[in-house]
Amino acid sequence: MPHHPKPRRAASKLKPVAGGRGKAPQARALVESPAGFRSSTGDCEVLVGDCREVLAKHPSVLAGEVDLVFADPPFNWNRAYDQWDDKMPREDYLTFTFDWLDRCIQALKPTGTLFVNIPDDTCAEIVCYLKGHLGRKPTQVLHMVNWCIWHYRFGQNQEGAFINSKVHTLYFAKDRAKRTWNPREVLELTDRASTYADKRTLTKKDGMPAGMRVPLDVWYGPYWGRIQGNNAERRHGHDNQLPEVYLERVIRCASNPGDLVMDPFTGSGTTGTVALNLGRRYLGTEFSRDNARRASERMILLGPARPLGQQHGISTAIAPKRRALTLPSTTIG
């Protein structure tokens, strides 16, 4: 039974912390137990085991007190994970997927949101499942907010089909209208401001500051590439690490300081690293104890490889710059 280890003890509730934007990590120590790893400050917990079983017993999941779930599951691509068997029969993989999705739905507050990072193979099935359109119904139907794309330029080369250069970022909410949504935390420059010197962007009436907009639903830009080679963020033993800027966007827009962020597939710990640095609390699960240890060291002791906050107010325009506008100094803040 390679997918079903038993968690060794019931976990405790996470303590709230005082949060702050881009705050330096507090002085934290790493505490190991048979169940997993946690921070001495009580704001981070990584439990070792199969997320389906561990989360089914966790008090924060049972109480539905998670504000944001980010999930980057194994893709069933036969990757050499430390422990996990990444080559399940297709039907088993779908059952696995729907099972962990149910635990995530159960964990969310009524204002909560779920983001799933998933490639083409299983994206359609997850969308249909969360919307309640498959034979098996989710524990609660969710509402799609966006179907985003994470675009990167270094896909795996191939000649028989177009080269893959994206993963889907599915953004769902329990209640679209009541969800936590902080657009001003993730603004970027409009193309009118960065590229076309078009003054209409200074008087636009969409509620966002002059010359700024909510990011597009295709995500790319500086530091958004896959974490490979000698990338400064790269962590030993993880070839599926997400960029910190990706998690920064998700966590800033969909949670507030002090909120509880959950990731069932901790991996190298990108979600928790960014969450703690932004003053959130973190609850993660990870099948491999070695991965969980390394991830906890990164989250609790090291922090992000690059300072957060650098994406705010930048341009992602593709067209070459013609002329840029000088914005009012209050705009970027």
| Residues near ligand SAM, by CB under 6 A | 50-51, 72, 74, 81-82, 84, 238, 240-242, 264-265, 267-268, 270, 285-288, 291
Burial profile 126-137: b = 16 or more Cβ within 10 angstroms, e = fewer = bbebbeeeeeee
Judged by beta carbon, residue 116 or residue 317, the one nearer ligand SAM is 116
SS3 143: strand
Judged by beta carbon, residue 260 or residue 327, the one nearer ligand SAM is 260
Taking the complex as a whole, the smallest distance from the CB of residue 156 to ligand SAM amounts, in Å, to: 16
Taking the complex as a whole, the smallest distance from the CB of residue 84 to ligand SAM amounts, in Å, to: 4
Judged by beta carbon, residue 112 or residue 264, the one nearer ligand SAM is 264
Taking the complex as a whole, the smallest distance from the CB of residue 270 to ligand SAM amounts, in Å, to: 3
Nearest to 179 by CA among 129, 242, 262, 254: 254
Taking the complex as a whole, the smallest distance from the CB of residue 260 to ligand SAM amounts, in Å, to: 18
Q: How far is CA 262 from CA 14, 276, 320, in A?
A: 11, 12, 39
Judged by beta carbon, residue 242 or residue 275, the one nearer ligand SAM is 242
Positions of E strands within the chain = 30-33, 36-39, 44-48, 66-71, 108-118, 143-151, 166-173, 188-189, 212-213, 218-219, 260-263, 281-286
**What dihedral angle (degrees, nearest 10) is formed by the CA atoms of 224, 25, 52, 114?**
-50
Judged by beta carbon, residue 99 or residue 198, the one nearer ligand SAM is 99
Taking the complex as a whole, the smallest distance from the CB of residue 85 to ligand SAM amounts, in Å, to: 9
Q: Which residue is nearest to ligand SAM (CB)?
A: 267
